[in-house]
Structure 1
Amino acid sequence: MKKLLDQSLRPLVIYAMVVLAVSIPVYFLIIDWIWENELDKHHYAIREKLEKRLTSLNLPDAEVGEMIGVLDKVQPGFSFSEAVSPRPDSAYTLIRFDTFMNDREQFRCLLTDIRVNGKLFRVLVETNMEEIDETILAIAAVTVFFFVLLLAGFIYLNRKTALRIWRPFYDTLAGLHTFRLEKGIPPPLPESDVTEFADLNRSLAVLMDESLASYRQQKEFTENASHELQTPLAIVKSKLDLLLQSRSLDKPQMQLLEEAYQAINRVTRINKNLLLLARIEHAQFDEQADIAVPGILTELAAQFSDRFENSSITYTEDAQELVLAANPVLLEILVTNLLVNAVRYTPAGGHVQAYVGKRELSVFNTGTMPLQEASLFRRFTNVSSEHAGSGLGLAIAREICERYGWRISYRFEGGLHHFTVHF
């Protein structure tokens, strides 16, 4: 996950780095062009001065030739030669070995003509450009330094300013993190003089109030519906008990009553399970305690001894030390539902095994075919055509796991159903 401030800064930093990378060669080319242009102007100025001064001396041709010969030998950067006819000027850059510096150097050259006493001379004027390269590097280094300094300052100031501007948003976000429907009280949202944040807080306040109202209505409906259903179900069940005890009923009538009695029992279990699911979803099991999982597993497995015996199912248990901070009622329901599920899908003469590891609880049981994984933990779904249940046991187990951030998984391997809760 990336922070919002980083998302806004990243394109700016990338753009600045691209501009910096492009600016370095551009700086080099522009400065190099400026230097060459200035050197060419300087060379033409030297040419003009040289021609005027030599002409103004009014020396005989012989002395002019001697002076030019002396200049050609002792003056660095000049080279004279007699020319037959004028030629166009030529300005160029040359890299050659310099005997004075004893190294290869870069020179800016001007090859031009001058006329002294009516005699034409070809003049080569050279200037060493090594200092120009050093100047370009120095200017580029200083430019990069101040560019980086400017970018760092921009990032720092932008972060400081953005944090101050976005402070109401982060305060609102912190308040939302503490919001819980089961508490029934919306968290206070900070006031802000920024129009967008003020509108956001007003919208969130309305949304939380509406969510709390819907939560209260749903909670009241669930509790009332469950309570109202319990009374008629209990009455119907008691009436069926009385009818079953009657001796005036024949066998077909008794069979019909038994089917009705089983249906009422199933509806009663569904009603209790739905109420339990609603209470779990509404976080009405807030109490927590440190619970030893091996102890509660052994205690609950003992309650299934008759069912194991009636179905000729062997039960084994392998448990390591594991203590969880959870609600005791919910943990008992989770373990019970896993054991009930194992007994339901284990054929007669099969085997059920429970294992408690360092951070997991597994229940294995003998099976003939895999369960339907797509609908395994959904409500009111039968995952096997051979055994019918209320379709809520595994849904309740999954809801409990989600309540605590645990993960429940299933796989069929080696003729065994594997249900594992990863804590």
Structure 2
Amino acid sequence: MKLASHYNKVTIVVTLSVLIVGAIIYYLAINHIAKTLLDDHLSEEVSEVVGYVNLNKQLPKQVDFDEDQTKFSKLNNRRVPTRFYDTTYSNPKLVGERAGRAVEGTITFNGEFYKFNITISKESTQYLVQIIATITLLLVIGLFIVLFLANRYILGDLWKPFYKILGQLKVFNISEAVPFDPIKSKVDEFKELNEAVHLMANRVKGDYQNLKHFTENASHEMLTPLSVITSKLDTFIQDDTLRQEQFEQIQDIYSAAGKLSRLNQSLLLLVKIENDLITDTDELHLQELLLEKQRQFQELLSSREITVKTVLTPKELTVSKYLIDILLNNLFSNAIRHNGNKGIINIELTNARLVFQNSGNGNPLDPQTIFNRFQKGNNSDGAGLGLTIVKNICSVYGWTLEYKYSDSLHTFTIVF
């Protein structure tokens, strides 16, 4: 959920809760005030009755008007405490019971106790309370709507600079010299964020350029002495006066120099892949590339009597031919290098996946570390970067690389 949505949710919930609680308290307060006014009116009626009795020395006649009713009844030497209460009464002009407010108590006349009961209508007061409650409810709903629209549109415009910065970060490419577009905002935090992003981007691009130049220069400078060493070793190997022991030592040096050269090229390739420096694309038929790569490795396959079985479905990809060639080369090399003599390799290509299976060492590999750099088997003479390169190429195109071991076969699956 977006930050603005969280803010809107909290604001609306809190505001609505406060408004509802406030409306309930307001309704109860208005209802209490209306009831107090009715009780005051009833108290005045009682005072008038007492005044009439004291003045005229007789009970007033019982009255039964539409909305006011007064009744007297004689008590047997006991007093009734004065109390106010809600009740209902009948209006002769209307059908049904009506809501009313009543008071009862005791009045003394000629040494005897009489209970009086005065009832007045509370419909006008209820109507007033309902009008006030309706107005309050409409104000709450109106305020809620205004708050919702304000959060949705006014605050939405307020967050536009943030989303602009976020959009530029999403398309930020460290290898491109495209600058960030400046944003205009009245919010100090967004201004500071914009400045921080600009500083970060410039610093990262500078570090990247320095690293790129260092990597390219280091790779170039390493290739030159390696070429010299290899050239000199070629000359030594052709010397017929070398003893067998010297020849073997030179062969070891020659092999180490070749391994160092391949390691240098692999590391440089990883840097290029991880930083998206290889951007060429072509429409390629993967099944044809697989068959071509199989022909290139046919001599090595034949020398080790490895049987290759293929089930290939036509599959087109828009990718870098250079990267796909490296990917297939590493998959074939891995399947051959870690296979046994007279082993098997199964290759299956469908529209959804590419599967390489090979026999070999009966022990399964660790799927958690197999794609890490410099991870290799005990008997491997490689640099331990082949599967890492394959993994990174798959990541460039959003493919998934999986490994599993079953039925004495190591299986590598690329899911497109």
Q: Would you say the 8 A contact 1:91–1:109 is kept in 2?
A: yes
Deviation at 1:233, TM superposition (A): 0.9
CA offsets 1:78-108 (integer angstroms, 9 cap, x no match): 32112445543112234x7969777676543
Deviation at 1:111, TM superposition (A): 0.6
RMSD: 2.9
Is 1:48 equivalent to 2:47 in the alignment? yes
In terms of mean alpha carbon deviation, does 211-220 or 138-147 score higher? 138-147
Measure, in 2, the Cα distance between the counterparts of 1:209 and 1:75: 85
SS of alignment partner, residue 241 of structure 2: coil
Q: Which amino acid is the alignment partner of residue 350 of structure 1?
A: G
CA shift in 2, pair 1:208/1:74, >3 Å: closer
Is 1:82 equivalent to 2:69 in the alignment? no
Any gaps of 5 or more consecutive residues in structure 1? Answer: none
Deviation at 1:269, TM superposition (A): 0.8
SS of alignment partner, residue 204 of structure 2: helix
Is 1:360 equivalent to 2:359 in the alignment? no
1:241-390 to 2 correspondences below 5 Å: 241-367=234-360, 368-382=362-376, 384-390=377-383
Deviation at 1:266, TM superposition (A): 0.8
Measure, in 2, the Cα distance between the counterparts of 1:387 and 1:240: 24
Q: Which amino acid is the alignment partner of residue 154 of structure 1?
A: L
CA shift in 2, pair 1:33/1:327, >3 Å: same
Q: 2:151 aligns with which of 158, 166, 191?
A: 158
> Where does residue 170 of structure 1 map in the other structure?
163
Q: Would you say the 8 A contact 1:51–1:115 is kept in 2?
A: no
Measure, in 1, the Cα distance between the counterparts of 2:101 and 2:207: 86
CA offsets 1:222-264 (integer angstroms, 9 cap, x no match): 1111111112111211222222222222222222222222111
Deviation at 1:55, TM superposition (A): 6.1
Q: Would you say the 8 A contact 2:279–2:320 is kept in 1?
A: yes
CA offsets 1:182-240 (integer angstroms, 9 cap, x no match): 11332232244543333332222222222111111111111111111112111211222
Measure, in 2, the Cα distance between the counterparts of 1:180 and 1:15: 42
CA shift in 2, pair 1:192/1:26, >3 Å: closer
Q: Would you say the 8 A contact 1:78–1:125 is kept in 2?
A: yes
SS of alignment partner, residue 365 of structure 2: coil
CA shift in 2, pair 1:366/1:75, >3 Å: closer
Q: Would you say the 8 A contact 2:182–2:194 is kept in 1?
A: yes
Measure, in 2, the Cα distance between the counterparts of 1:347 and 1:134: 97
Q: Would you say the 8 A contact 1:179–1:186 is kept in 2?
A: no
Q: Would you say the 8 A contact 2:16–2:144 is kept in 1?
A: no
Measure, in 2, the Cα distance between the counterparts of 1:74 and 1:291: 98
In terms of mean alpha carbon deviation, does 203-212 or 120-129 score higher? 120-129
TM superposition score normalised by structure 1: 0.87
- The alignment-based identity, stated in percent, is 28
CA shift in 2, pair 1:182/1:47, >3 Å: same
TM superposition score normalised by structure 2: 0.88
Measure, in 1, the Cα distance between the counterparts of 2:344 and 2:4: 58
> Where does residue 197 of structure 2 map in the other structure?
204
Measure, in 1, the Cα distance between the counterparts of 2:250 and 2:67: 131
CA offsets 1:337-387 (integer angstroms, 9 cap, x no match): 1221111222222211122222222211124111132321111222x2232
Any gaps of 5 or more consecutive residues in structure 2? Answer: none
Deviation at 1:15, TM superposition (A): 0.8
Deviation at 1:330, TM superposition (A): 0.9
Q: Would you say the 8 A contact 1:55–1:117 is kept in 2?
A: no
Measure, in 2, the Cα distance between the counterparts of 1:350 and 1:50: 119
Aligned residues: 413
Deviation at 1:25, TM superposition (A): 3.9
Q: Which amino acid is the alignment partner of residue 177 of structure 1?
A: K
